[in-house]
Chains A and B, each alone.
Chain A
Amino acid sequence: MNLGLLEYGIVIMAFVITYLATNRLIPLLIELKREVLDYHKEGKKFVAYPGGPAIILGLISALLVSIIITNDTRIIAILGVVIISATIGIVDDFKSLGGRKKPLILLLASVPIIILGAYEPNLDFLFFGSVKLSIIYPLLILVSIPVTANTINTIDVLNGVSTGFVIITSIPLLISLLLIGDGSMVLVTLILISVCLAFFQFHRYPSKIFPGDSGTLTLGATYGAIAIVGGVELIGVFAILPAILNSFFYLSSMRDFVEHKNIRVRPTKVLPDGTIEAESNENAPITLVRLIVAGNSSKELPIVNTIFILSIVSATIATIMGILTWVI
């Protein structure tokens, strides 16, 4: 499996389109007064929102060219996932869908993979062996895309976290797909990383733009689609474990799908100097950020770096698992 100049050109194209689109989108959103409060900053700082359309443009254009070049129906399935999740995200950005409706509607994003049969119903467990799940695998696909999309959406609470997180956790997928020798999926993973890298230039601390639900849902759904279509679903799950845990802690403490903006007691408090402190109220939801600052109040940047360190740990574990599964 070798990527040619054309494929590398698509990856660079994805970066350039996303970068230029984001750069153009920021002043446009400010002009349209589409700005939200950056909650974790001292003073009142407003940031352009949503940057998702730039991410979507970069992904869709690069995937379209990839389909023409590779003629791979699996990329058509991934493009379908991107388009459906992006549409749901854009609707959610402008008219909130609500915590319960969103995961349900996101089930639709899994449909292109199932209809086009762009999957192998096998799971390879290290030490336990391989198993074929012909009946329940499509059901797992149906659930997986909403899970990954919402997971990335839920972790997007601080500057640069969602895009940085996807960049780090896509590396185990990339390594596993390189070992398997799946050129098309390597290309799609590189496109995802490239788009995230371009957007990260504006999203990193201090953010000039937020991706919004359109951005995070699309990135999460694309990540999940690559993991399923590439047959590296377990590697994908283990790589994003800190984000899955964050969603799990949140859901188990709230006992419902509640949107962040509708929480009664916030998990953290922002002090006048911008320091973030954990909420000691027992009714506050448990989140990764609350765990990080528990008994250890911090500014925003060290918390972002801690999340990145945790994702590097999970990505390393996932990579080792991928390599061992391939070797054994």
Chain B
Amino acid sequence: MKNIIELISIVVIAFLLVFLTSAIIFTIIVPFNNPFTFQFSEILIVIFKLVVSFGLFLIWIFIIQKIITRYLKKKLNL
């Protein structure tokens, strides 16, 4: 159980990231109201929401992958 503290840290970091990302997506981005009145603005807002949500998801993936790769490289001397 030598790695337990590091693994617990990974779980806690993952929790914080998942919590923040999902909270921002579902409580800020998804309910975001359309401030424009021009034609096709609804479609534009939906695309904007999708892009921002997907971007946040990609940032989460990037951070977690960085942490895991660094951890494995350190432990397995890759």
Binding site for B on A (CB under 8 A): 123, 125-129, 131, 133, 136, 234, 237-238, 241-242, 245, 248-249, 252, 278, 280, 282, 286, 290-292, 294-296, 298, 302, 305-306, 309-310, 313-314, 317, 321
The number of residues on chain B lying at the interface, defined by a beta carbon within 8 Å of a beta carbon of chain A, is 31
Query: What are 25 A-B pairs with beta-carbon distances under 8 A?
Result: A125-B22, A125-B27, A126-B19, A127-B23, A128-B27, A128-B28, A133-B26, A241-B11, A241-B18, A245-B64, A248-B61, A252-B65, A278-B75, A280-B76, A291-B3, A291-B10, A291-B71, A291-B72, A294-B72, A295-B3, A310-B11, A313-B8, A313-B11, A313-B12, A317-B12
By Cβ-Cβ distance, the 9 closest A-B pairs, closest first, are A295-B75, A294-B75, A128-B23, A128-B27, A296-B2, A125-B23, A280-B76, A131-B27, A296-B3
Give chain A residues whose Cβ lies under 8 Å from the Cβ of B44.
none
| Neighbour of A309 across the interface among B4, B19, B30, CB < 8 A | B4
Known contacts A248-B64, A310-B7: A238-B15 contact under CB 8 Å: yes
Given A125-B23, A127-B23, 10 additional A-B pairs, CB 8 A: A131-B31, A136-B30, A234-B22, A237-B18, A291-B7, A291-B10, A294-B71, A295-B74, A306-B3, A306-B4
- B11 to A280, Cβ gap below 8 A? no
Binding site for A on B (CB under 8 A): 1-4, 7-8, 10-12, 14-15, 18-19, 22-23, 26-28, 30-31, 61, 64-65, 68, 71-72, 74-78
Q: What total count of A-B pairs have CB within 8 Å?
A: 91
A10 to B65, CA, bound (A): 44
Known contacts A286-B72, A291-B72: A245-B11 contact under CB 8 Å: yes
Please give me the residue from chain A that is nearest to B72 by CB atom: A294
- A291 to B68, Cβ gap below 8 A? yes
A298 to B4, CA, bound (A): 13
Give chain A residues whose Cβ lies under 8 Å from the Cβ of B76.
278, 280, 294-295
